[in-house]
C-alpha cells in the first residue's frame, strides 16, 4: 500500500504499549522513520531501549557472524538480521536474527519484502530472564511453529536453546563437550561457554566441525532437490 505524505502527517505516533492491529502498526511504523525497532506482540507495541554495546551490540554481532558462516556453507538457507516478520495477525516481531529455509520452508518473502510466516530458527538477545523474549515472544513463536528458538541472556550469562517438540518447547542441552547441536539445521553447532566468554575463534572452530559432518552434507543435498 502506498501512503501519501499528507496522510502520514495525520497518523498518531507509534508509542510503547499501544494496542493496535497489524495493519495500523505497520502504517505508524512506516510513518516514523526515526524509529529503528518496534514490535507488535499479541497486539501490543514494544519499543526497546537504545542498544548498549557490551550487552547487546557485541553479542548480536557474534551471533550474526556464527549464523552467517553457517549460511554461507549451507546453500538454500537464508539469514536475516533484524527483519520485521509477519508471523500472524497479532504479531509482527523484529527478531535479532533468524534463519529460514529458502524455498521449501515454513516462511516466504512477501511482495513488499517482509518475512511472512514462521522461520525455522529465531535468535533474540535479551538482557535477563525478566525479558519478554522469554515470555510473550516465546509463546508466540511456539504457537506459530518456530522450530528452534535461542535466547541469549547477556546479563545472566546464560543461553537457552529451545526445540519445538509437538506443541511444546523443550530445552536442548549441551553434550559432554559443551556443544549444542541444532535439530533442524544439521551442522549448526554451538559451544555455549565460548560464545558467552566472547571466544569467537573457538565458536567458529566448533561450527566448522559441524559443517564437516556427513549430516551437513546430506542436508545441503536435501535443500538442493
| Residue 6: pLDDT band with limits 50, 70, 90 | very low
163 class by beta-carbon count within 10 Å (0-12 exposed, 13-18 middle, 19+ buried)? middle
Instruction: Write down the domain spans for the chain.
Output: 5-46, 53-224
Q: What pLDDT shows up at residue 212?
A: 98
Tell me what the mean pLDDT of segment 121-125 comes to: 97
pLDDT in tens, 63-98: 999 999 999 999 999 999 999 999 999 999 999 999
The pLDDT score that the predictor gives to residue 7 is: 46
Note the CATH architecture for domain 53-224: Alpha-Beta Complex (3.90)
- The answer to whether 128 and 153 are in contact (CB under 8 A) is yes
DSSP assignment of 121-189 = EEEEEESSTTSGGGTHHHHHHHHHT-SEEEEEETTTTEEEEEEEETTEEEE----TTSEEE-SSSTT-E
Contact 74, 49 (CB under 8 A): no
**Across all residues in the chain, what is the average pLDDT?**
93
Mind listing the pLDDT tens digit for each residue in 163-201?
Answer: 999 999 999 999 999 999 999 999 999 999 999 999 999
What pLDDT was estimated at residue 196? Answer: 96
Question: Which region among 17-21, 50-54, 109-113, 207-211 has the lowest average model confidence (pLDDT)?
Answer: 50-54
Residue 33 has a pLDDT of 85
pLDDT value at residue 92: 97
> What integer pLDDT is reported at residue 121 of this predicted model?
98
Q: Which of 116-130, 136-150, 188-202 has the lowest mean pLDDT?
A: 116-130
**Stretch 144-173: mean pLDDT, rounded?**
96
Q: What is the pLDDT of residues 24-64, one digit of tens each?
A: 999 999 998 888 899 999 999 999 887 888 889 999 999 99
Judge contact between 74 and 80, C-beta under 8 A.
Answer: no
Confidence of residue 3 (pLDDT cuts 50, 70, 90): very low
Least confident of 57-71, 104-118, 124-138: 124-138
Task: Record the cell numbers describing residue 17, joined without a space.
Answer: 504499549
Amino acid at each position: 500500500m502506498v501512503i501519501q505524505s499528507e496522510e502520514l502527517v495525520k497518523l498518531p505516533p507509534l508509542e510503547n504499549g499501544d494496542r493496535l492491529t497489524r495493519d495500523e502498526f505497520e502504517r505508524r511504523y512506516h510513518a516514523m522513520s526515526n524509529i529503528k525497532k518496534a514490535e507488535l506482540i499479541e497486539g501490543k507495541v514494544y519499543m526497546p531501549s537504545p542498544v548498549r554495546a557490551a550487552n547487546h551490540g557485541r553479542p548480536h554481532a557474534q551471533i550474526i557472524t556464527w549464523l552467517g558462516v553457517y549460511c554461507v556453507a549451507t546453500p538454500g538457507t537464508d539469514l536475516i538480521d533484524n527483519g520485521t516478520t509477519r508471523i500472524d495477525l497479532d504479531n509482527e516481531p523484529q527478531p535479532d536474527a533468524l534463519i529460514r529455509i529458502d524455498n521449501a520452508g515454513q516462511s516466504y518473502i512477501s511482495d513488499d519484502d517482509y518475512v511472512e510466516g514462521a522461520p525455522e530458527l529465531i535468535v533474540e538477545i535479551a538482557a535477563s530472564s525478566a525479558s519478554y523474549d522469554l515470555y510473550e515472544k516465546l509463546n508466540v513463536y511456539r504457537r506459530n511453529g518456530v522450530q528452534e528458538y535461542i535466547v541469549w541472556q547477556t546479563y545472566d550469562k546464560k543461553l537457552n536453546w529451545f526445540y519445538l517438540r509437538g506443541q511444546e518447547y523443550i530445552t536442548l542441552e549441551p553434550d559432554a563437550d559443551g556443544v549444542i547441536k541444532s535439530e533442524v539445521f544439521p551442522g549448526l553447532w554451538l559451544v555455549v561457554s565460548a560464545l558467552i566468554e566472547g571466544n569467537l575463534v573457538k565458536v567458529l572452530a566448533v561450527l566448522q566441525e559441524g559443517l564437516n559432518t556427513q549430516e551437513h552434507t546430506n542436508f545441503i543435498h536435501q535443500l538442493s532437490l
